Each structure stands twice: as structure tokens, then as C-alpha cells.
A = this chain, B = another copy of it.
Amino acid sequence: MITSPSSRRRSERSRKATLEAALGLCAEKGYARVTVEAIAARAGVSKKTIYRWWPSKGAVMLEAFTEGLLDATPFTDTGDIAADLRTHICAAVRLLSTSPFGPAYAGILSEVHHDDALAKAVREDLVEPRFACAVERLRRAGEQGQIPADADLPLAVEMLYGPVYYRHVLRKPPQDEATVAALVEHVLRSLGARET
């Protein structure tokens, strides 16, 4: 099939409009009250178009949230693993504690427990790739001699992300910068990192 440049542009425009509409409605009405109909109406696309690209409202929200997360929480490598983890975790906490991304992710997670397809998509499209990036950043810190070569990196990543999820799903006040700094320091010490 030959797709003209203009039709491809239109598709990307519709995709972006759909994601933006989903996040906007989530901020205004709360995740539970958003419908695919309302997203389609605000985005100026048909409901059929949405269902051609996404299996559910949750899947639309997941793509919108994932794009926001990728933009907001890059993995930098300044050569200082503690500083880079603080930057990364602080950005994730900020994203999760502000609208529309925080409520959108809470809504997505609320559907994970009963929607098997969405649960799989959350793990495969969002959680596992980010987890792998975090492990990779720690692996480079190991190469640079900042943490021991045999450190348990997946465990470290769960110790970093776990407390962020804990507060988010329980709607406890999010970590402030000092708490994130203490968390990162503790996780690095738990791996046997050189004290700085």
C-alpha cells in the first residue's frame, strides 16, 4: 500500500490530538468518567479511528502517559550515578504528583488488576523498557567503578521505584527532593557503593 506523505501527516496529527484529548479529559473529569466517545469528540476523530489504533481507553491513556514519561524522565549520564538517579527519580515523582499525568497513571493502574491486556501492555510497553534503561544506567556506573561489578541491579531498581509507586497508589504525599536524595544514597550504599 502506498501512503501519501499528507495522509501520514494526518494520522500523526490525529494520534497526537487523541492523546491530548485523553489527558485533557482525565484532568477535567477524572479518569473513571472519561469515555472513548468523549475522547473522539474532543480530538475530532471518529470512535472507529480510535478503536483501529487502540483496544481500550486504558490503552490510549497508557500511550499518552508513556510519551509524557519519556519526555520528562530521561536517563542522563553525567558520570555521577547518585546525581543522575536523583534527577531521574525526582522527575518521575514530579510527573506522578501533577495533573494530568499523575491521575492518568493512577487510573491506568486501577484497571491493571482486572484488564489482562492492559496489564500486559503496561508491563511490556512502559515498565520493562524503563526498568531496562535504569539497569543499564547502573551497569555503566559499575563499569566506571562507582558501584561493585557484582551488584544486584534489578533489586536496586525495585528499591528505587518501589517507594515511588507505594506513595502514588496509596495517595500519600509524594517524596520531596531530600527524601529522594536519601533514598538514592541508601540504595547505592546497599549495593556497596563507594561512599562519596
- Show the binding face of A for B, using Cβ within 8 Å: 30-32, 103, 106-107, 109-114, 119, 122-123, 127, 152, 155-156, 158-159, 161-167, 169-172, 179, 182-183, 186-187, 189-192
Q: Which A-B residue pairs are the 10 nearest by beta carbons?
A: A162-B162, A190-B190, A106-B113, A162-B163, A110-B110, A186-B190, A158-B163, A162-B166, A165-B166, A119-B171
Copies of this protein, total: 2
A30: chain B residues within 8 A (beta carbon):
114
Identify A186's interface contact among B159, B163, B179, CB under 8 A: B159
Give the CA-CA distance A156 to B186 in the complex, in Å.
9
Contact A103 B113 (CB under 8 A): yes
Q: List 24 A-B contacts (CB under 8 A).
A: A30-B114, A32-B114, A107-B113, A107-B114, A109-B110, A109-B169, A110-B110, A112-B170, A123-B171, A127-B170, A152-B186, A155-B163, A158-B163, A158-B166, A158-B167, A158-B183, A159-B186, A159-B187, A165-B165, A165-B166, A165-B169, A165-B170, A186-B191, A189-B192
